[in-house]
Amino acid sequence: MAVLLKKHCSKAVLTVVALIAITHAQQTNTRASAAKKEDVEFTCPTEVGNGNFADPATCKRFYQCVDGYPYMNRCPSGLYFDDISKYCTFKDEARCGPIASTPAPSTEPPVDLATKCNTAECELPYCFCSKDGTLIPGGLDPEDTPQMILLTFDGAVNLNNYDHYRKVFSKNRQNPNGCDIKGTFFISHEYSNYNMIQQLASDGHEIGTETISLQQGLQDKGYEEWVGEMIGMREILKHFSNISKSEVVGMRAPFLKPGRNTQYKVLEDFGYIYDSSIGAPPSPVPIWPYTLDYKIPHECKAGSCPTKTFPGVWEVPLNAHYVEDYEGGHCPYLDQCVLHNHDAQEVFEWLQEDFSRYYEQNKAPYMMPFHTNWFSIKELEQGLHKFLDWTSTLPDVWFVTMTQALTWMTDPKSLKQVNSIEAWNCVKKKENIPPPSCNNSNKCALSYKNPNMNFTDTRYLETCAECPNQYPWLGDAGGSGIPGKDNYVPDNVRK
């Protein structure tokens, strides 16, 4: 961590449970073939391309357009498709579509200024790249490389998911050195319980930022908008979960839509160490994390990746999850693959096959990104627990946070040496972590006015800190009730 910091100076939302299998014409996926036999009247919008679109007839269904073909999918029982956020959620929160939208213009020209990886000039601990992104840091052989698993969770933390998350990190699951397994949480603001988040941080899990509002189209917004969303979220975590901003060093963009060069400039200016927003397409060999000193070594599926260099800023890409015959499709988030018709054993075997592509090849970190929806289907949750129990028996598998993984990458050590990595050790209590959550937290009912609405609503916030005057929001992370109160100064200006 010291090396990383030196370089930089340093709703309850539910997302789509099931996206229909993405297949290629030459592949024989029986489920996709069956789907194509259905009489599909929906036409994919050619001006938008791939993505999720509301069913004009009912809010309980949506279509995923893949290469111009619409695959119909249904929301889980009791949930409805929100055509703004593009996921299934509760009825009173869902904005039924179709809703017309006009993409915001880009705030910068798409000038590609980054050059291809130059391994002769890119050296650890501050720079790492390879021609195709698949090489192991430090030149280690796969059999000498620890297999890291990165459990990540996006969105709000609250009663809908907190106990499920805690079960994942059961005390019965430990790393080879006897330490409890850890994960990384990318927090969004609305509906979050900050008492619960404080306990997760106190338990040693890493807390990163998503954004305050999870607004659509943020990828095309300017510097001030990204500062308000990212740094404002970090300030909210400090105010209401007692998490030092020096511990919040990673972020993930909403809907995996990176903010072009603007987002990464904010990362650089405000002392973040890494981003994890860029999805990588299906690849026979997984991609390792890399620094943004050079071009990203894979296709940018989102179309809004950085084109300039940001030396020393790490990207932890989301490799696509899939199995050989593409059953279940391929997906960056695991809950986007179509596994909800599987039983627990089938889910376990699917995860095993997906994992083997990493474990049997280049040992790239196996990221398992989740939303709350995964845990709303018991077969998926049970299959996950089977997988976690199985991998916990493997002597070279380590469940680590994003920062712990990057700490290893800056100074790669073989399997025989990993016990000497201080950042992976649990004997010494980590500094700057918040105290455990409180027994008598404040349950605050606060006024909230959506900038796009003409009425005031009530939002609830639970925290060990005092209740603010108003629901915290963009420009007022502390909830003072004074609009536009916040004024964030980049780290490099402070110095």
Burial class (CB in 10 A: 0-12, 13-18, 19+), 369: buried
Residue 252 CA to residue 103 CA, distance in Å, equals 21
333 closest CA partner among 363, 386, 373: 373
The full 3-state SS of 15-61, as one line of letters, equals CCCCCCCCCCCCCCCHHHHHHHCCCCCCCCCCCCCCEEEECCCCCCE
Residue 307 CA to residue 476 CA, distance in Å, equals 32
Compare 94 and 270 and report the one with higher pLDDT: 270
pTM value is 0.81
Query: What is the average pLDDT across 410-420?
Result: 93
Is pLDDT at 250 greater than 70 in this prediction? Answer: yes
Of the ranges 74-83, 219-228, 421-430, which is most confident?
A: 219-228
pLDDT in tens, 106-132: 445 555 678 999 999 999 999 999 999
Is pLDDT at 429 greater than 80 in this prediction? Answer: no
Note the pLDDT of residue 47. 53
pLDDT in tens, 79-102: 788 887 677 777 877 888 888 764
Note the pLDDT of residue 111. 59
Which residues, 6 or more positions from 215, have their beta carbon under 8 angstroms from its beta carbon? 229, 254
Is pLDDT at 6 greater than 50 in this prediction? Answer: no
Note the pLDDT of residue 258. 96
User: Which domains are seen in the chain, by residue range?
Assistant: 2-10+113-424 (3.20.20.370), 442-494 (no CATH)
Q: How many CA atoms lie within 13 A of 458 on its CB side?
A: 4
Residue 361 CA to residue 363 CA, distance in Å, equals 6
Note the pLDDT of residue 271. 96
pLDDT in tens, 285-328: 999 999 999 999 999 988 999 999 999 999 999 999 999 888 88
Beta bridge partners of 448: 457
